[in-house]
Amino acid sequence: MTTRQGVTKPVPTGLVPAIALEGGGPIYQQLAEWFRRAIAEGRLRPGQRVPSTRALAGELGVSRLPVLGAYEQLHAEGYLESFTGAGTCVAAAIPHEGAGTPQRRPPRAAIATAPSAPRRVAARVAAMAAPPQSWLESQGAFRVGVPALAHFPHGVWSRLLSRHARHVGADALVYGDTMGHAPLREAIAEYLATVRAAHAGAAQILITSGAQHGLQICAHALLDPGDRAWVEEPGYPGAHQALGTVGALPVLVPVDAEGLDVAAGIRRAPTARLAYVTPSHQFPLGATLSAARRIELLQWAARTGSWIVEDDYDSEYRYGSRPIAALQGLDADARVIYVGTFSKVLFPALRLGYLVVPKDLLPAFRAARDALDTCSPMLPQRALHDFIREGHFARHIRRMRMLYAARRAALQAAIQHHLPGALEIVGAEAGMQLTALLPDGMDDVALSQRAAQAGVSVRPLSPCYRGDVKRSGLILGYGSVDERAIEEGVRRLRSCL
């Protein structure tokens, strides 16, 4: 059958406008699409008769079969209907503006640009839309949040994935437990008890698709619209996103050298429903929550019935001392929900994290997690379980701790050599990034844009403030950058300054 492309065939006067067969694809699909558009645009009105399949096929010079196929499809979709003795007509139920009054409709291009009803989205989601982030345009120095992927044991991970993929059973192909793979949860509970001094049984572990997903679950399980929640200022923008999706109201609590200022939080919102903190390595300033403030925060939560969400950000990597014990391990009243992730210690695309949930909150968290996305993929959970049990996880963290310590020292030395006195380094005692404060009055967003043009990814500090910006600065990640690239990156940054 030959398609007569681009040829317009007139249909008998009084029936339908001219039909054009244009573009590729089967003739029946082209015909059906033409009728849909003509009906939607008002060129064919409800109740208007259309030509018979035989007549239309003759006018177009094509076989009757594709015309029959198109009409059958349009009948099935409700665009056409047939009546004994009356033939085939446009369905009377099709909405039509000014039905019964023939009008000349504007061409299709005009339809597309004509004023229409507002295209509304949820106001709280629209408020979260961020401007273009120039610091994400480069994968080199100094991208924040990316580990040393070249040093990840790819061969070991591939072998573990292959092991489970080759012998996959039906139980790995159906929906898994909402809480996650039970053996992996046991391995995580043992790791947290040993390394983070956390108090958690495997039954309290809930597997998530990363830390941000964990924060979303916490927000859905614990907060109602209008509830107030403490957030660090400056702080992690993802926490504001999680709170915003449920309509909670953030209360900005300042951060100083001892971490979250608990007394200021109590003054601003003494009965807030929740407090979000990064006590081990505050993002973005790098402070560690002091012992006095940890106790003060726990006492406030127990007294008011509030909840604490502990995002244990970068807890695995400390360079001047052993890792700080988790806040959750000090909690005698089960008020802390612990958030952890494997994205930073292994690789971001893994998309596996976990929550430690107080026992009485498990039904609520299970329901919230199930409502968001049911369960995490089973195959990577099983491979991760083996990765931990066989000792690869602990070895990898030990190697990365030494590697990141060397890269941190290289970055500090490069800044001191190329930019003496220009930047004030803070938050370099832990993690995979440090923050360099700029002189007063310098625009860190504009600087990050100039750096992006020079091939350097530096994240500005000021967008981490939601209130008045106290200081401008640059957040410099060194996890994925070797010493040579660090040196070159600082040289390029100097030219931008």
pLDDT at 3 over 80: no
Distance CA 476, CA 469 (A): 19
Q: Which 3 state secondary structure label does DSSP give 310?
A: strand
Nearest alpha carbon to residue 188 among 400, 363, 388: 388
User: What single-letter amino acid sits at 384?
Assistant: L
pLDDT at 194 over 50: yes
Q: Which stretch of DSSP H or E encloses residue 232? A: strand 228-233
Nearest alpha carbon to residue 136 among 381, 348, 350, 371: 348
Q: Which stretch of DSSP H or E encloses residue 254? A: strand 249-256
pLDDT at 7 over 60: no
DSSP 210: S
Question: Where do we find the tokens 């930047």?
Answer: 423
Average pLDDT on 167-188 reads 88
pLDDT tens track for 234-258: 999 999 999 999 999 999 999 999 9
Structural contact between residues 197 and 316, judged by C-beta atoms closer than 8 angstroms: no
Mean per-residue pLDDT over the chain, rounded: 87
Higher pLDDT, 2 or 287: 287
DSSP 437: E
Q: Which 3 state secondary structure label does DSSP give 297?
A: helix
Give the model's pLDDT for residue 117: 80
Nearest alpha carbon to residue 381 among 408, 353, 406, 409: 353
User: What single-letter amino acid sits at 90?
Assistant: V
Tokens, residue 376: 């995490």
pLDDT band at residue 9, thresholds of 50, 70 and 90?
A: very low
Nearest alpha carbon to residue 403 among 155, 205, 170, 147: 147
Give the model's pLDDT for residue 174: 80
The radius of gyration of the chain's CA atoms, rounded to the nearest angstrom, is 31
Distance CA 437, CA 470 (A): 11
Cα 163 versus chain centre, distance: 30
Tokens, residue 1: 């059958």
DSSP 430: B
Average pLDDT on 76-103 reads 74
Average pLDDT on 121-141 reads 69
Whole-Å CA distances, 468 to 175, 233, 268, 343, 447 = 46, 10, 16, 31, 19
pLDDT at 269 over 80: yes
Output b/e per residue, 251-268; b: 16+ Cβ within 10 A. bbbebeebbbbbebbbee
Give the model's pLDDT for residue 415: 95
The CB-side HSE value for 120 (13 A sphere, CA atoms) comes to 5
CB count within 10 Å of CB 468 equals: 7
Give the model's pLDDT for residue 101: 40
DSSP 134: G
User: What single-letter amino acid sits at 213?
Assistant: H
Cis peptide before 95 (omega within 30 of 0): no
pLDDT tens track for 332-370: 999 999 999 998 899 999 999 999 999 999 999 999 999
pTM (2 d.p.): 0.78
Question: Where do we find the tokens 């793979």?
Answer: 181
What is the share, in percent, of the chain residues with pLDDT greater than 70?
Answer: 89
Tokens, residue 359: 């026992």
Whole-Å CA distances, 121 to 118, 219, 246, 482, 484 = 9, 20, 15, 43, 47
DSSP 323: P
Higher pLDDT, 93 or 389: 389
Q: Which of 43-47, 98-102, 268-272, 410-414 has the lowest mean pLDDT?
A: 98-102
Q: Which 3 state secondary structure label does DSSP give 311?
A: strand
**What are the helix and strand counts (H, E) for the chain?**
16, 16
Structural contact between residues 28 and 67, judged by C-beta atoms closer than 8 angstroms: yes
Q: Which 3 state secondary structure label does DSSP give 9?
A: strand
Q: Which 3 state secondary structure label does DSSP give 274?
A: strand
pLDDT at 54 over 50: yes
The CB-side HSE value for 86 (13 A sphere, CA atoms) comes to 11
pLDDT at 83 over 90: no
Q: Which 3 state secondary structure label does DSSP give 425?
A: strand
Give the model's pLDDT for residue 137: 63
Give the model's pLDDT for residue 14: 40
Tokens, residue 143: 């991208």
Average pLDDT on 108-119 reads 61
Distance CA 344, CA 457 (A): 18
Distance CA 184, CA 167 (A): 18
Give the model's pLDDT for residue 2: 39
Structural contact between residues 279 and 258, judged by C-beta atoms closer than 8 angstroms: no
